[in-house]
Amino acid sequence: MATCKVCDDEVETLVSVKIGYKTKKMCEDCADRAREESEVAEASEAVVQQMMGFKGRRG
Ligand SMILES: [Zn+2]
């Protein structure tokens, strides 16, 4: 048995999920959520960079 550090549930197995540069161990449920969130984070980061790019060009 292992304990998921994200949701504090006891689970059979933990899975490793790569988030950004780090790898975290968590249960399957949290892993699914984390993968989705990291995809969203990457997408929004790109948007922020674009916005900053526009600002920079405008002055
Ligand atoms: Zn969990």
Question: 19 burial class (0-12, 13-18, 19+ CB within 10 angstroms)?
Answer: middle
C-alpha of residue 48 to centroid of ligand 1, in Å: 29
Cβ atoms of residues 19 and 34 within 8 Å: yes
Task: Decide which of 19 and 45 is more confident.
Answer: 45
Give the count of domains, the chain.
1
Phi-psi region of 20 (alpha: psi -120 to 50; beta: other; left: phi over 0): left
Structural domain of residue 36, as residue ranges? Answer: 2-58
Residue-wise pLDDT for 26-52, tens only, equals 999 999 999 998 889 889 999 998 888
Cα of 18 to ligand 1 centre, how many Å? 15
The two three-digit tokens of residue 10, written as one number: 């006891």
What is the percentage of the chain residues whose pLDDT exceeds 90? 54
Percent of the chain at pLDDT exceeding 70: 92
CB-based contact 34:6 (threshold 8 Å):
yes
40 Cα: distance to centroid of ligand 1 (angstroms):
19
pLDDT interval class at 58 (50, 70, 90): low
What pLDDT score was predicted for residue 7? 96
